[in-house]
Amino acid sequence: MTDTRMVPVALVVWAVATVGLAWGWQFSWLVGVLAVATSLVVAFRSLRWRPQAVLVIALGSLATCWIATVIHASATHPLRHEAERGAIVKLRVEVSERPKPLRTQGFGGRQGGADRVLVPAGDVVVLAQAKDWADLLPGQWLTVTGRAASPRGGDLTVAVVQARGSPAEVTPAPVWQQAAAALRGGLRRASAVLPEEQAGLVPGLVVGDTAKLSPRVSDEFKVAGMTHLLAVSGANLAIVAGAVLFTIRLLGMGPRVAGVGAGLAVIGFVILAGPEPSVLRAAVMGGLALLALVLGRERSLLPALAWSVVVLVPIDPALGLNAGFALSVLATGALVLVAPRWATWLRDKGVPPGIAEAVAAPLAAHLVTAPVVAGLSGEVSVVAVFANLLAEPVVAPATVIGVLATVATPVNQGLGELLVRVTSPEAWWLIHVARFTSSMPLATLRWPSGLLGSALLTAVLLVGWAVLRSRRLRVVVAVVVVVAVVVLMPARLAGSGWPPTGWAMVSCDVGQGDAHVVATSEPGRVVVIDTGPDLTSIVGCLRRLSVVSIPLVVLSHLHADHVGGLSSVLSDYPVGAVGVGPLHEPAWAWDQVRRQAANAGVKVVDIVAGQRFELPGVSMTVIAPRTAPSHLGPNADGTPVNDASLVLRADTSAGRILLTGDVELEGQANLLADNEDLSADVLKVPHHGSRYSLPRFLERVHPRVAMVSVGAGNPFGHPSPMIVDALKREGATVLRTDEDGDVAVVASRDGPLIARRGSPRVVH
């Protein structure tokens, strides 16, 4: 029977940290006191005052008291007051983790986040320029000067410091950190012999180094539910240690020698990946899985897992709300406690050994962690199990060979490159598995985010489990699933569903960004206006529309949420030209657009007001900006760039459509002053429906349909209720991509027909 005595203690310790971080240190004390009192009452009533019970109660009491004390110290830290008033501070800090590149998709943020990094440094987080800070290593001390700001909460960070200038008085990194950095750098150099996408993937797969990972591959791995392969986890350590164990036992040595060798392998891998908190947590989880396998006692993992929580959470109470920690615990428990039972059941049903384990492991891990992932992302991956099942056979060989290449490179660069080349087929396979599964229809489903979403999905999974335990209900569910797959899904994807026949324009659901597709009368030939913030959403939309070629891509302006998907459009479709407005700012985005277009062999052309584009079935006229500065300086961003957006008037079979980019108050005022004919049947609402729209502008357009391209739960408050209400007062039907998904405009005799992914309705 499984020993569960430590499980309540682990849950209490975790709860104390979680409640304290979420609601305040007072609540952590309250939960801790109630838990200790309950334990004492239970022990007294059962008269089980054995030394082991006393030890467990004492340990739990000490852990909860310590956690509450640490959270209290963080909450009352003097630097919090300085952060609340935005003071300029000068701090001496120690780097606790390697700098993390910021990947932003907001207004003006650099796609891929190559210009800024987050530097965790104990109680503070430093936001700094990558140029001066990216190469710092854990263990280095430095002096930072900058403006302090309050943290978002959810951990023990007392301030976020926006650094001014370079780090000062930097001490050397510890020798082992320097060695680890040198090994990781060697692996990156050796991987350069591979194609670009593979060269970025291999270091991420082996040691979690994603510095050179293509943003497109990163997005595809996320949609496919394969992101865990790009972070150092217990699986990496178990693979490396397992390979060492197998080799030592193959040589005929005993279990003690094998255990020592595996332990040394774990220590070496921790040094290689960097002994940071996340890696150390993975070492504990991987070590527990390895211990259970070595001892042949899978049931012993549960108390070991509970002990790891009891030990790790007091050391770092921020783990209470750390998603990575929760996923590690849940996945480890699922792989050792749930997966073996499911594998046994599958073998009893006739599934061959090996295949049963290969199916049970990713299925158990995915289902157990799915509520946490859904709560964090607001999505449920439908293809994750399938994708990981396809990926699993090549992960272990690629990891082991990659580690060998890393170790060999400092000794012989040629040998390291040769070993890296052996990982090329595995990397190719993983990239294409992610690309294929992430592009499948309904690869992800929208789901409520936060605690509600997690609880809801947990309830759904529990109900599903209960239903499947009944043979009769299993038959009913199987019939329903077959009907859904055979009948409903093809109907959803065929002409009667999406896309609607005769569509003139589609606003793609690309999250917090813009991407619009205007159809010509030639099937599969379209004009694309903006490409969204990431590399996968726009391609998914184009594939759903059966796009074949794109004679013109127009970028209304060069903010990241409008140009982020350009490279994937250029690589996946034949493009005639990329059109941009007169303002080539921000400079990084202009350089990126030119480079991506040059790599694809596509010309970049300037578009100015008054130009007219005639294509079969559609006519497009550029009506703004009449004038725009050619350069705004090195810090060009925000409103000036928005107001320089290209504004286009498209005459289509469904009526006139006004595409407005992100023009704000000044840009709209200029349009009104120019006495342009702004009337339109359909308005692409400016700037994601922000409050910076003039009532006179909306009155002049007087649209029947208003389409807002916006991301669910965005931090900017888009769309503004004030603007939505103003549009409705004008008689417009307001559609939002965050609520309606892809939205199409279709021509009809009764006016524009609006289709929302298979739910058409006539707008009168």
- Give the 3-state secondary structure of 279-335: HHHHHHHHHHHHHHHHHCCHHHHHHHHHHHHHHHHHHCHHHHHCHHHHHHHHHHHHH
Greater model confidence, 678 or 214: 678
At 638, give phi and psi (nearest 5°): 65, -140
pLDDT band with cut points at 50, 70 and 90 for residue 27: confident
User: 277-312 burial, b if ≥16 CB within 10 A, otherwise e?
Assistant: bbbbbbbbbbbbbbbbbeeeebebbbbbbbbbbbeb
pLDDT band with cut points at 50, 70 and 90 for residue 295: low
* pLDDT above 70 for 47: no
The CA-based angle 423-428-431, given to 5 degrees, is 125
Provide the 8-state DSSP code for 610.
T
* pLDDT above 50 for 493: no
Q: What is the mean pLDDT of the chain?
A: 82
728 to 207, 447, 733: CA distances (angstroms): 53, 28, 6
The closest of 169, 170, 91 to 135, measured between CA atoms, is: 170
Helix (H, G, I), strand (E, B) or coil at 57: helix
pTM reported for the whole predicted model: 0.67
For the ranges 126-135, 348-357, 731-740, the one whose mean pLDDT is highest: 731-740
Q: Which of 115-129, 629-643, 658-672 has the lowest mean pLDDT?
A: 629-643
* pLDDT above 80 for 78: yes
User: Tens digit of pLDDT for each residue in 410-449?
Assistant: 989 999 999 999 999 999 999 999 988 887 766 777 777 7
41 to 34, 48, 56, 62, 750: CA distances (angstroms): 11, 11, 14, 18, 74
- Residue 299: per-residue pLDDT: 56
Residue type, 163: A
Omega into 499 within 30° of 0, i.e. cis?
A: yes
Measured between alpha carbons, how far is 748 from 373 in angstroms, rounded to an integer?
Answer: 42
Neighbours of 415 (CB within 10 A): 15
Query: In 622-753, which ranges are continuous DSSP H helix?
Result: 639-643, 665-673, 695-701, 721-729, 737-740
- 8 Å CB contact between 537 and 565: yes
- Residue 685: per-residue pLDDT: 95
pLDDT band with cut points at 50, 70 and 90 for residue 664: very high
Measured between alpha carbons, how far is 156 from 122 in angstroms, rounded to an integer?
Answer: 9
Segment 517-531 mean pLDDT: 93
Measured between alpha carbons, how far is 304 from 337 in angstroms, rounded to an integer?
Answer: 12
- 8 Å CB contact between 432 and 443: no
Measured between alpha carbons, how far is 513 from 305 in angstroms, rounded to an integer?
Answer: 42
- Residue 553: per-residue pLDDT: 96
- Residue 520: per-residue pLDDT: 92
- Residue 760: per-residue pLDDT: 37
Helix (H, G, I), strand (E, B) or coil at 494: coil
* pLDDT above 80 for 179: yes
Segment 163-167 mean pLDDT: 88
Greater model confidence, 159 or 298: 159
* pLDDT above 60 for 671: yes
Omega into 625 within 30° of 0, i.e. cis?
A: yes
Omega into 719 within 30° of 0, i.e. cis?
A: yes
* pLDDT above 70 for 475: no
Q: Is the dihedral of CA 115, 635, 712, 481 positive or negative?
A: negative
Measured between alpha carbons, how far is 666 from 159 in angstroms, rounded to an integer?
Answer: 36
Measured between alpha carbons, how far is 581 from 625 in angstroms, rounded to an integer?
Answer: 8
The closest of 333, 32, 391 to 201, measured between CA atoms, is: 391
Segment 40-44 mean pLDDT: 67
* pLDDT above 50 for 133: yes
- Residue 210: per-residue pLDDT: 83
* pLDDT above 50 for 331: yes
